[in-house]
Amino acid sequence: MKSQLILVIVAGLGALVAAYSLGWQGAADKRLTNSGVDTSETVVSSANCLSEDCLKVADLEYPAGELPKDVISALNVAIDDEYKARATYSAVISKLGSIRPFSMIIRAEEQHISSLKAIYDKYGLEIPDDPYTDVQVAATKAANCSVGVQAEIDNAALYRDSLLPRVSAYPDITSVFTSLMNASQNNHLPAFERCAS
């Protein structure tokens, strides 16, 4: 009996250590990655779904509703800024060849544009055309990286200070805008700063 009790205690302690190392947060009961990011499943609803996740929402049809003009304007500003970034980085690649970080970040810009297009699709909005056909860029990698630094600073500030407050009533749009802002300030900006120095 005593050895069984010890075995149960040891097994329980082992389970606690394993759960802690996997990032379980006790009472909150959320599974976190080592970086502290919540990976527990969010309940998908018509308010927060995007693209194929909307298939999980019963009785949701596109368009999912009407957006106020101010929210549509915020979407238009966001996609315009992403179009401009993609066109600029594409022009650098055309001029200087497929060089890092431009060759990597242009792919991210494509994903950003796709995320925004999913919102346009969800709400039945016409996707604006990309107006950037002839972007001029600097002659050197370092100079273009300096431009990239400022562009990413401006992009993150645009989302944080102007666009996110305008869409706060829309969890789906807020999620996309927050993701794009974080990509600019946490990923793209450091890459351009390294390149510019």
Tokens of 26: 């006790």
Query: Residue 188 burial (CB < 10 Å; 0-12/13-18/19+)?
Result: buried
Residue 191's identity, in one-letter code, is: A
Q: Does 59 score more than 70 pLDDT?
A: yes
Report pLDDT for 41: 65
Number of neighbours of residue 155 by Cβ within 10 angstroms: 23
Number of neighbours of residue 156 by Cβ within 10 angstroms: 19
Q: How far apart are CA 92 and CA 77, in angstroms?
A: 23
CA neighbor of 65 nearest in space, from 76, 79, 54, 80 = 54
Q: Does 9 score more than 50 pLDDT?
A: no
Average pLDDT over the chain, rounded to whole?
A: 81
Number of neighbours of residue 54 by Cβ within 10 angstroms: 20
**Long-range Cβ contacts of 52-60 (<8 Å, 24+ apart):** 54/122
Q: Does 125 score more than 50 pLDDT?
A: yes
CATH numbers and ranges of domains, the chain: 2-40 (no CATH), 69-196 (1.20.1260.10)
**Which range is least confidently modeled, 26-30, 99-103, 180-184?**
26-30
User: Which range has highest mean pLDDT (24-33, 52-61, 80-89)?
Assistant: 80-89
pLDDT digits (tens, 9 = 90+) for 60-111: 777 778 999 999 999 999 999 999 999 999 999 999 999 999 999 999 999 9
User: 23 falls in which pLDDT band (50, 70, 90)?
Assistant: very low
**Which range is least confidently modeled, 13-22, 96-105, 139-148?**
13-22
27/190: higher pLDDT: 190
How far is residue 124 CA from its own chain's centroid?
Answer: 22
pTM value? Answer: 0.74
Report pLDDT for 150: 93
pLDDT digits (tens, 9 = 90+) for 159-179: 999 999 999 999 999 999 999
Q: Does 30 score more than 60 pLDDT?
A: no
Residue indicated by tokens 């200087």: 96
